[in-house]
């Protein structure tokens, strides 16, 4: 290919969508060897739907025919595919550069079983921020969530001190507040609409996961939620760095996950203004990781840099300042391990012949007898 021209699509004819779907199918058959024939057939209608609805769409043509395309929405790269004959010619790099520079893309997802794509995006400045055990629809395709490792957003997530009053970050926070205001206040939204709002804001929202009213985020794009998670009312996510939840996590009401750290000395912590009256504020952030099958009860605060292991239970009102190992009960301020979770904690749920229950088999595990 002599010269690569990236063309923003203004009108999406049925013919163009059909040709782009053909590019997608040829690409995945050549690169996504983990997909079965049934998987490809099942994914095809979803591809048509995204091609028709995604906010931004661009193509590269050769001889008038599309050979590669990219689509994005809300700063997230939703798709980038090239026909096998066009691979290695720079079309993917050109489309990605267009998406980053002209559309403001700074997040994307990659199938873990596609190492070539991961290597490409890492070479272009993206890094793995989080991992989910399934894709966004709950299918068993492990997914890597990537973020762009350049600019002020990368500085914010790096763990180093950065300029928290940066205008771009302020715009990100305003966007997040507007989305969450609608999420929390728009009574016309059904469950599907609420999930769509969250899915467009968060770094990832796995299948079967939901969040109750009153939730707040700083940015949203650093919150990564696995499958079948539930967040009760009024949860807060101060996500200057990634906040990652595994699968099957339950979070009670009024919980806070805070990644932000500020200077200990008041004079260094205060906002100050330069000669041009521009504000300046120092901050740094450390990531929070919550494993699979974790229960975090009501009113818990999780501090910067904390990891909570798989199967842990965090008692109500706890302040988690240090890592919590897997399969333990931990409570208090500061939160401390009090005992392991054992088979004695297991409650047997027996629905009976008529679907009625629960009926515990024998003495309750936590009873004295």
**Cβ atoms of 258 and 223 closer than 8 Å:** no
Kindly state whether residues 183 and 278 are assigned to the same domain.
yes
Kindly state whether residues 148 and 127 are assigned to the same domain.
yes
pLDDT tens sequence across 269-293:
888 888 888 888 889 999 999 999 9
Kindly state whether residues 181 and 263 are assigned to the same domain.
yes
Kindly state whether residues 248 and 264 are assigned to the same domain.
yes
Give the separation between CA 361 and CA 89, rounded to whole angstroms: 65
Q: Chain-wide mean pLDDT for the chain? A: 89
Q: Which residues have C-beta within 8 Å of that of residue 325, sequence separation ≥ 6?
A: 309, 312, 337
| pTM of the predicted model over 0.85 | no
Kindly state whether residues 204 and 312 are assigned to the same domain.
yes
- 369 occurs within a structural domain: no
- 74 occurs within a structural domain: yes
**Cβ atoms of 195 and 210 closer than 8 Å:** yes
CA distances from 116 to 88, 113, 124 (A): 12, 9, 13
CA distances from 291 to 133, 137, 261, 355 (A): 11, 20, 23, 32
> Could you tell me the residue range of the domain that residue 215 belongs to?
163-343
pLDDT tens sequence across 172-220:
999 999 999 999 999 899 988 898 889 889 988 888 999 999 999 999 9
pLDDT of residue 288: 94
- 136 occurs within a structural domain: yes
Among the candidates 89, 120, 155, a domain finishes at: 155
Supply φ then ψ for residue 21, to 5 degrees: -60, -35
Give the separation between CA 360 and CA 347, rounded to whole angstroms: 7
- 349 occurs within a structural domain: no
| Residue 20, domain CATH | 3.40.630.30
**Cβ atoms of 214 and 233 closer than 8 Å:** yes
Among the candidates 124, 155, 186, a domain finishes at: 155
- Domain total for the chain? 2
pLDDT above 90: residue 103: yes
Kindly state whether residues 118 and 174 are assigned to the same domain.
no
Q: Which residues have C-beta within 8 Å of that of residue 80, sequence separation ≥ 6?
A: 68, 69, 70, 71, 92, 95, 96, 99, 108
pLDDT tens sequence across 31-75:
898 999 999 999 999 999 999 999 999 999 999 999 999 999 999
- Top pLDDT among 293 and 368 is at 293
Per the structure block, which two tokens stand in for 183?
């999420």
Give the separation between CA 29 and CA 197, rounded to whole angstroms: 32
Kindly state whether residues 174 and 101 are assigned to the same domain.
no
**Cβ atoms of 237 and 257 closer than 8 Å:** yes
- 333 occurs within a structural domain: yes
- 350 occurs within a structural domain: no
- 168 occurs within a structural domain: yes
pLDDT of residue 129: 84
Most confident of 246-255, 339-348, 353-362: 246-255
Kindly state whether residues 87 and 181 are assigned to the same domain.
no
pLDDT of residue 230: 97
Kindly state whether residues 172 and 150 are assigned to the same domain.
no
Kindly state whether residues 260 and 212 are assigned to the same domain.
yes
Supply φ then ψ for residue 204, to 5 degrees: -160, 145
Among the candidates 107, 127, 155, a domain finishes at: 155
- 348 occurs within a structural domain: no
Give the separation between CA 37 and CA 31, rounded to whole angstroms: 13
Kindly state whether residues 222 and 329 are assigned to the same domain.
yes
Taking CA 103 as the corner, what is the angle to CA 102 and CA 104, rounded to the nearest 5 degrees? 100
pLDDT above 90: residue 139: no
Kindly state whether residues 260 and 199 are assigned to the same domain.
yes
| Residue 252, domain CATH | 2.160.10.10
List active site positions.
262
């Amino acid at each position: 290919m002599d010269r690569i021209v990236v063309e923003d699509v203004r009108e999406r004819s049925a013919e163009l969508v059909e040709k782009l779907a053909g590019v997608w199918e040829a690409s995945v058959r050549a690169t996504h060897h983990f997909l079965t024939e049934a998987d490809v057939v099942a994914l095809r209608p979803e591809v048509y739907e995204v091609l028709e609805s995604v906010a931004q769409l661009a193509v590269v043509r050769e001889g008038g025919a599309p050979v590669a395309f990219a689509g994005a929405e809300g700063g997230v790269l939703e798709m980038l595919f090239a026909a096998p004959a066009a691979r290695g010619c720079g079309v993917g790099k050109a489309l990605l550069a267009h998406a980053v520079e002209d559309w403001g893309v700074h997040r994307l997802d990659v199938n873990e079983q596609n190492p070539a794509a991961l290597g490409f995006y890492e070479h272009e400045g993206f890094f793995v921020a989080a991992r989910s055990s399934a894709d966004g629809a709950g299918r068993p395709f492990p997914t890597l969530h990537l973020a762009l490792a350049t600019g002020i957003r990368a500085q914010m997530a790096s763990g180093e001190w950065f300029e928290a009053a940066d205008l771009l970050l302020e715009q990100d926070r305003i966007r997040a507040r507007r989305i969450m205001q609608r999420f929390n206040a728009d009574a016309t939204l059904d469950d599907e609409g609420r999930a769509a709002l969250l899915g467009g804001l968060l770094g990832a929202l796995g299948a079967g996961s939901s969040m109750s009213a009153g939730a707040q985020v700083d940015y949203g794009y650093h919150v990564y939620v696995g499958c079948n998670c539930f967040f009760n009312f009024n949860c807060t996510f101060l996500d200057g760095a990634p906040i990652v939840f595994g699968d099957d996590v339950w979070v009670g009401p009024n919980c806070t996950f805070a990644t932000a750290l500020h200077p200990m000395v008041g004079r260094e912590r205060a906002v100050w203004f330069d000669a041009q009256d521009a504000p300046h504020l120092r901050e740094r952030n450390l990531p929070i990781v919550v494993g699979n099958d974790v229960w975090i009860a009501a009113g818990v605060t999780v501090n910067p840099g904390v990891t909570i292991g798989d199967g842990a239970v965090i008692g109500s009102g706890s302040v988690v300042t240090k890592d919590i190992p897997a399969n333990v009960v931990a409570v208090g301020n500061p939160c401390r391990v009090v005992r392991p979770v054992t088979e004695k904690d297991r409650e047997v749920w027996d629905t009976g012949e008529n679907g009625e229950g629960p009926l515990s088999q024998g003495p309750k595990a936590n009873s004295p007898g």
